[in-house]
Amino acid sequence: MKDAQRDRGGEAAEKKNLYIIPRIICLVLAFVIWLYVISVTSETSEKTFTLIEIKVEGTDTLAENTNLSIYDISEGKLSVTVSGSRKDISQLSSSDFIAYIDVSGLRETGKQTVPVKVSVPASVSLKSYSPTGIVIYTDERITRDIDVTCRPSAFSMPTSFSFGSITSEVGSVSVTGPAAVVSKIAEVRADLNLSGQWITTSFVHNAELTPVDSEGRPVESQYLSMDRENVNVNVQIMTSTVRPLEVAYAADADRSQIESVTVSPASLKLEGEASLISSIGNLVIYTVTGTETGPVNVPTSAIKLPAGVGIVNDPGTVTVTVTFVPVVPDTEQPPDTEQPPDTEQPPETGPEPVTEPAEPTGGSPQTGEGAVDGITGG
């Protein structure tokens, strides 16, 4: 009995010893790993960060104190080398660094080199950076009023339609910046990008303003400013049509005596806004009275047209000719009157009397031409 108990106790002890050994091994391995991590994370290292943007500060102060402005700056990105623990450095990126130049203290125009200032996170130390200075160019700051021009693009319209007046709500804008840049600007363009629209009526478009040089190329500078960035543009869409010219007749005109009326030219070409043109019918140029004595020249200004509609190649006058029905002359002759017989004259002493021929009592009627003249007055 006792021997069996001893055997069971020995087996339990052996099993206990087997559990202790793996535990000791795990504890040793954990300690070794801890020592490695401590040594790695606490080790000081260096790293270089690149492509850091260099900002410009103090431009407003520069303008206020000296009326100067930057107009060019050398391109460049900053590279920074820092030192610190591996842990701290591994948590950084280029966006954690600040690089800038301060131009508020400049007093001269022309080319100048301004030192770069760098700010790094507190967890690391700055070792070096490049470049240490930036080349900039300064000039006098001026303001000019520059005309606005409008240019539509990316549109479609019927062939009989065209652009009329295109006007912006302002004639010019004020542009401020360095003289070297402002002097390049020839105009400020309002670009009307209509995105392929089908255009048949007048419209208003809000356009973005872009300063351009004499060749139409944009003048770009971050140091330019305008008193407005956009402008409303009124665009007039025009079309044309041919309308015949007509005459009216006065209420008391005897149209039975009028053979024909001709108008020269017989029609006029009109141009104007599409909405107005479509409302115009035939044009009455003159009212015939029936008493005309010849061709009548009517000024085209007498034609009442809507505002915004005009005459293309305006002749100035329109000639109206009224032709009357010719009057047939009366050809019936009146009967001749009987002539009284000659009576003998008693002889008289003295000179021989002279006998006068008798005047006929009849005669020819008035000519047809005179009759026509009496109706037409010429």
Do 142-239 and 242-324 have matching folds? yes
- Structure token digits, residue 360: 């006929």
Flag whether pLDDT at 351 surpasses 70.
Answer: no
d(CA 175, CA 141): 10
Closest CA to 158 of 267, 245, 278: 278
pLDDT band (50, 70, 90) for residue 377: very low
pLDDT at residue 18, as a whole number? 58
pLDDT (average), residues 68-91: 90
Cα 294–Cα 255–Cα 287 angle in degrees, nearest 5: 55
Domain 142-239 superfamily per CATH: YbbR-like domain (2.170.120.40)
Contact of 112 with 64, CB cutoff 8 Å: no
pLDDT at residue 336, as a whole number? 56
Q: pLDDT tens digit string along 115-170?
A: 999 999 999 999 999 999 999 999 999 999 999 999 898 899 998 898 888 999 99
Contact of 288 with 258, CB cutoff 8 Å: yes
What is the sign of the dihedral through the CA atoms of 228, 230, 234 and 238? positive
Flag whether pLDDT at 359 surpasses 70.
Answer: no
Q: pLDDT tens digit string along 280-292?
A: 888 999 999 999 9
d(CA 50, CA 47): 10
Closest CA to 136 of 119, 115, 157: 115
Scan for tokens 């007509």, then name that residue: 246
Closest CA to 112 of 129, 92, 134: 134
pLDDT at residue 9, as a whole number? 54
Q: Report the CATH number of the 242-324 domain.
A: 2.170.120
d(CA 90, CA 376): 113
63 CA to centre of own chain: 33
Q: pLDDT tens digit string along 16-69?
A: 555 677 777 777 777 777 666 655 555 788 999 999 999 999 999 999 999 999
**Domain residue limits, the chain:** 46-140, 142-239, 242-324
Burial class (CB in 10 A: 0-12, 13-18, 19+), 372: middle
Mean pLDDT lowest for which of 24-28, 93-97, 129-133, 346-350? 346-350
Helix (H, G, I), strand (E, B) or coil at 197: strand
**Domain 46-140, CATH among 3.40.1800.10, 3.30.1360.40, 2.170.120.30, 1.10.3470.10:** 2.170.120.30
pLDDT at residue 26, as a whole number? 79
pLDDT at residue 304, as a whole number? 87
pLDDT at residue 13, as a whole number? 55
d(CA 111, CA 113): 7
C-alpha to C-alpha distances, 257 to 70, 100, 292, 376, nearest whole angstrom: 88, 98, 12, 10
